[in-house]
Structure 1
């Protein structure tokens, strides 16, 4: 962790204090599993150091979890009938389950039945970003694991979504327009595929045209990368900067080079556009702190605490004594 990122983490911890709202606590495992965070960080570092692209995958995995049934680890559950969240079309490209499973296995050996999979995933997402020198944030802990995971309930913000729907999606989860634009910048380390932009660059309105909200020179660049029948080749969401977690995403969007309609849509709202303009003008001076704050906000979405849910023994399946 760099000194800058450590400072952000310390500042956030001082702002949050030891105890936080909604029954989560920064010291939740202090007595029952004091090494929990250290164990998760060690294992996450091991995986991400060998495969840095996992940082984006693990961040996305946490986001998917929180936006469906809340941050309850339900995205981690497997179903023999292939009808769990991870089996839904938007989730088929999710990766990084093995990192969460490895961390959970280590925790079960050290302090069995104590640390929830939902908390492991929240910690892994933070530690994966730290592992590539991104910002850190204090993770309030004490979530419990959900017992249900349904493919039919997966209704995530789409890359094709306009700004009004995006703001509503986030508002429904108790998140602000600022959270929307800040968390969108997670795309700074992400990759996608030609299939998700094919229509946007070749046949946007059904007339063989492209989306005019995109810079024409960027459309030409994408067409060189993605031929009309290519739906599988990878495309960087932050061209030329995909390995570095920083505020360059906002420069890309401001230049009308956002890969998805949902990226470009951030310019269509005065509040989100103003934030982008400020980050561009100040070289992302507040981005690390803002991203950290929004990730903490995300981690509170529809959580289970107290006697709700359970502490799974394995992240991919509910406990045998669960009533599902």
Structure 2
């Protein structure tokens, strides 16, 4: 068995809080998670399952809390795609225990193109667990339904975490991308342990300390599908970012939507199996959860990446 341990939540040593800084005391106990690899990386069978601190198989979608600190609005983030990588990894929302897997299109593994001058994803990309953008819920701001996934987050800190790591973040703002007629929120956030976490508390701070990052992020989301022959993506609010308060509200709303999902109250074909959510209609025993992992292919050496998209530049203005 191959396992990798994530960073643990910790308490800040600061006795005096700054506006938006890491809270001195987290309201939840310390949590740690390990990852269990199955199959060979860069293949259709590759999966990353999760264990809690007691060694029990859990769902990263349902069993990891959305909030690391509810009062101070500190969230858990599951890192699906580390910065500067190309493989489009995501929580498998339709599979039991929701392992991370690589997205597939027409039978092929998906990679994002390197749209010059960017290489892969320009931030650590992932999601907030226990959130769900319900496709049946028409958002009052965008007039579109959700994209049927957890809320996406772009973490802008300096460290590049391991794929599958669980970190704690605070929201700074949010972008409303409209992807093929669906609302696809993108929360801009920062690791609360980042060296600039005390200084970056909102979008203005991002622009002051990381000038151009927000504009380049919007451009990335607008153009990243163009190399695949698709049109540019659109945005609500004329492409303007909304502030931290708006982002926290969207997270709260999608947390409520997730609650209806996991209780079986919402129409959905997603897998809601879990081991810890009270009121869930699909709570599994530890043995049944472990059986899901045991049925997966044994871990194997990574396969070679054959898709040239991951290694070449795509020039947006290039003419055919």
TM-score between both structures, scaled by the size of structure 1? 0.33
The structure carrying a bigger helix percent of its residues is 1
Structure number with greater CO (CA < 8 Å, separation at least 6) is 1
TM-score between both structures, scaled by the size of structure 2? 0.33
